[in-house]
Amino acid sequence: MKGYHLGELEELVLLIVGILNQEAYGVSVAEEIKSQTGRKVNISAIHTVLNRLEEKGFLKSHMGGATEERGGRRKRLFSLSASGRAAINEVKLVRNRLYDQLPPLALDFSNG
């Protein structure tokens, strides 16, 4: 757990950026979150998270991929950095470890 502080939305965005692989930018992240989880997240919130993750070093970005819809403006495309990948793994490990310690639910009658 040392150093990897990830909020819930941060973790989600980090995962989605990883999934989108080279095609992750504000709008596509928002769309992906909506289609994968059904959650509607405001675009400005996603921007904030993306920028914060980049500041923490979990994401790296470059400009590219101008389209007509954007009025010729380029996108800021994000991708996972090594430490980002490590953070996901770390979070997942912690999750799994914690999960494994959950007592079995309905089948255990010993304390009943």
Partner 1 sequence: MDKKRHYYPPKLADRFLEFYCVPERLEQIQGDAYEIFYLDLEEKGLTYARLRFIFHVFSFFKWSNIGFSKFMHQRNNTGVMIRSYFKIGWRNILKQKGTTFISVFGLSCAVGCCIVAYLFIANIWFKGLNQPNKDELYQLVYTAEEADGLVTYGTVAQPISELIPNNLNQVKDHTRIMMEFPLLIQNNESFYQRTLYVDPSYMDMFKYRMEYGYPGALREADQVILTHQLSEKLFGDKHPIGQELSLVVDGEEKLFKVGGVLEDLKDMDMFNFDLLVNFESHPGAANDASLKDAWSKELWTFIQVEEGADISRIESDLGEITKIQNQVDPENPYVKMGLIAYPDIIYNVGKIEKGVRDFLGIGPQILLGTIGLFILLLAVFNYINLSVLMASKRLKEIGVRKVIGSKRSQLIFQFLSENLLVCFFAIFLGCMMAGFIFLPGFNDIASKNLQIDLFRDKNIWIFLGALLLAVTLITGLYPASYLSSFKPISILKGNQKIGSKSVFTSVLLSFQFTLAIISMVAAIAFVQTNYINANRDWGYSSADKIIVNVPDSKDYVPLRNKLSALSSVVEVSGSQDYVGNWITEKEVEFGDEKYSINFLNAESNYPELLDLELKQGRMFNSDLITDTQESLLVNQTFLDQFGLVFPLDQTVKIDSANYHVIGVVEDFHTEFFKNAIEPMAISASPDSVFNYLTLKMNPGSAEGSMDAVKKIWHETVPMGLFEGKLQTEVFEREIADANGVSKLISFSATLSVILALLGLFGLVSLNMTAHIKDYCVRKVFGADIGDLSKKLLKRYLIIWGIAALIGGIFSIYFISSFLDSFFAFNSGVGIIPIGFALVILLIVIIGTVSSQIWKVIKANPAVILKSE
Which residues contribute to the site for partner 1 (CB under 8 A)? 25-27, 42-45, 47-48, 51, 63, 66-71, 73-76
Structure tokens that stand for 101 in this block: 């310690």
DSSP conformation class of 71: T
Among 85, 87, 65, residue whose Cα is nearest residue 75: 65
**Nearer to partner 1 among residue 12 and residue 46 (C-beta):** 46
Nearer to partner 1, 8 or 68 (CB): 68
Minimum Å distance from CB 66 to partner 1?
8
Helix/strand/coil percentages in the chain, nearest 5:
50, 10, 35
Nearer to partner 1, 41 or 91 (CB): 41
